[in-house]
Amino acid sequence: MKRFDLERFGLGLAAPVLALIVAALLSSIALVISGNSPLHTFNAMLDYGTQPETVVQTVNKSTIYYLSGLAVAIGFRMNLFNIGVDGQYQIAAFFAAVVGGWLLLPGPVLIVVVVLVAVVVGALWAGIAAVLKVTRGVSEVISTIMLNVIGGGIVAYLLDPSRLGTIVGTQQVTTKPMPSDAYLPGIPVSGGEIYGFIVVAIACGIAYWVLLGRTRFGFDLRATGLSETAAVASGVSVRKMVIRTMLISGGVAGLVGMPLLLGGSHAYAQDFPTGYGFSGIAIALLGRNNPIGIALGALLWSFLEQSAQILDLEGVPKEIVTIMQGVTVLSVVIAYELVRRFSLVQQQRRVGAELRAAAGTPAAGEGSPA
């Protein structure tokens, strides 16, 4: 078995490495076209990106991205495409912030309550898409995207001083800020503070691994993703799986806004960041739905973003990073597919060869003398 493992490991690495090389090449071409030196650009990014302050920002961002990637990956393992993480985390963060601002509870309890609210709201919002899919056959790709916009509209409506918002400072509309004893403390390191919520994020990663790899539910989920017909024949109820999986995915999506809410802004304002959901999709693809892979993907993604901040000062449009990200995703999915096929063919070949070697001895028990 050792031989298999080593080869599998090697193949597993081959894909992302290959993809990254291709991505770097293509990005270099884009840079050259726009009149910049790739080497200079990469250098500048590397320099800036390894500064302690930037590293802290990178880690913080990647905490958020990690949660987003996990949420998407849970769906992916079952061939469900939860494109609605964006809407789910925003509506979840909003209501969580509202509750956090209005409820009077001791700090630590309030934090727990806020997180629970976020999980529940995110799960419910995803649940709408799940129900539509299970009862009416609506594609979850389209429904989750529509729900993103609808969720954004609802939040925009409610975030008004006459409804659930208040005015802070001169102009900014926000939810009522949470009390200071409900601030989640960060972890101080040289360069800044790391979100305390990173602990929860890591715990989620472990839970993901345990759930999918070690539980019956996880087995059912993966089986449905690998072969729905075989899963059905083995007793899985696809309807129930779809709903449960989407609920879990939405629940984790709800956590995406928590690092910022609890450790940074402490309220939901109009400028609460958007777009983490789509990044989550890319990261889940990069990490091949594997908890460690997703972590690495999240780190890479946010590293690219953070280190690109310096590029404006160097005269390079920092939007090159979005190209890098896009190209990476595309090369990665292609590379994974190629490696997967290659690996299967290799296995078949090896099995065939080994069995032929074993059957080389006569009386292999086939039953019919020639």
Partner 1 sequence: MTATGLVESMTKASTAAGRRRGIRWPLWLLGISGLLVLVSIVRLVTGANDITSSGTTGAALRLAVPIGLAGLGGLWSERSGVVNIGLEGQLILGTWFGAWGAYEFGPWWGVIVGIIGGALGGLVLAIATVSFGVDHIVAGVAITILGGGITRFLSALIFVNTPGGGVTQSPSLPRIGTVTLPGSGVLHDIEQKHWFVVSDVAGILGGLITQVSWLTIVAVLLVPLTYLVLWRTKFGLRLRSCGEAPGAAESLGVNVYRMKYTAVILSGGFAGLGGAFLSLVATNIYREGQTNGRGYIGLAAMIFGNWMPGGLALGSGIFGYTDALQLRSGGQSVHALLLLLAIVLGLLAIWSLYRGRRVRAATSVAVAAGALIWFLTSDTVPDEFVGFAPHLTTLLVLALAAQRLRPPAADGKPYRRGEAG
Partner 2 sequence: MTSAPAPARDTIAVQLRGITKRFPGVVANRDIDIAVRAGTVHAIVGENGAGKSTLMKILYGMQKPDEGSIEVDGRPVSFSSPADAISAGIGMVHQHFMLADNLTVLENVVLGAEPGGFGRLDFGEARRRIMEISDSYGLGVTPDRLVEELGVGDRQRVEILKVLYRGARILILDEPTAVLVPQEVDELFGNLQELKSEGITILFISHKLDEVLAVADEITVVRRGTTVATVLPADVTARRLAELMVGGELPSPETRESTVRPEVVLEVRGLTVRAEEGRPLLDDVSLTIHAGEVVGVAGVEGNGQAELVDAIMGLRPATGTVRLGDRDLTELDTRRRREAGIGFIPEDRQRQGLLLEAPLWENRILGHQSQRPNVTGPWIDRAGARADTERIVREYDVRTPGIDVAASALSGGNQQKLIVGREMSGDPVLLLAAHPTRGVDVGAQAQIWDALRDARAEGLAVLLISADLDELIGLSDSIEVILRGRIVGSADPRTVTPEELGSAMTGAGEAGERTEHGVAGGPAGGRHGAGTVAAADSEEAGRHLAPGPDPVPPDSGPGADPDLDVPLPGTAGPGLTGTGTTGTGDLANDPDAGGEERP
Question: Which one of residues 29, 39, 230, 292 is an interface residue with partner 2 (CB under 8 A)?
Answer: 230
Rounded-to-integer distance, Cα 169 and Cα 251, Å: 33
> Taking Cα atoms as reference points, which of 283, 266, 369, 258 lies closest to residue 333?
283
Q: What is the residue type of 354? A: E
183: phi > 0 → left, psi -120 to 50 → alpha, else beta; which? beta
Rounded-to-integer distance, Cα 70 and Cα 76, Å: 10
Residue number, 25 or 364, with CB nearest to partner 2: 364
> Taking Cα atoms as reference points, which of 239, 276, 241 lies closest to residue 261?
276
**What does each C-alpha distance from 162 to 157, 158, 178, 269 come to in angstroms?**
10, 8, 19, 15
85 binds partner 1 (CB under 8 A): no
Number of residues binding to partner 2, judged by CB under 8 A: 44
Rounded-to-integer distance, Cα 236 and Cα 364, Å: 39
Residues in contact with partner 1, shown as a per-residue x/- string from 241 to 280 under the rule CB under 8 A = -x-----------------------------------x--
State the angle between helix axes of 140-158 and 85-102 in degrees (0 to 180), rounded to the nearest 10.
30
Please provide residue 318's backbone torsions phi and psi, each rounded to the nearest 5 degrees.
-70, -10
Residues in contact with partner 2, shown as a per-residue x/- string from 336 to 355 under the rule CB under 8 A = --------xx-xxxxxxxxx
Q: Would you say the C-alpha torsion 278, 282, 287, 293 has a positive or negative sign?
A: negative
Residue 1 interaction partner, one of partner 1, partner 2, none, beta carbon < 5-8 Å per kind: partner 2
Residue 239 interaction partner, one of partner 1, partner 2, none, beta carbon < 5-8 Å per kind: partner 1
> Taking Cα atoms as reference points, which of 187, 215, 216 lies closest to residue 200?
187
161 binds partner 2 (CB under 8 A): no
4 binds partner 1 (CB under 8 A): no
Restricting to residues 7-26, name those near partner 1 by CB under 8 A.
Answer: none
Residue 142 interaction partner, one of partner 2, partner 1, none, beta carbon < 5-8 Å per kind: partner 1
Question: Which one of residues 147, 214, 279, 333 is an interface residue with partner 2 (CB under 8 A)?
Answer: 214
Give me the residues that bind partner 2 (CB under 8 A), please: 1, 4-5, 213-220, 222-223, 226-227, 229-230, 232-237, 344-345, 347-356, 358-359, 364-370
Site of interaction with partner 1 (CB under 8 A): 30, 34, 78-81, 83, 132-134, 136-143, 145-150, 152-154, 156-157, 224, 228-229, 238-239, 242, 278, 281-282, 285, 317-320, 322-323, 325-327, 329-330, 333-334, 337-338, 341
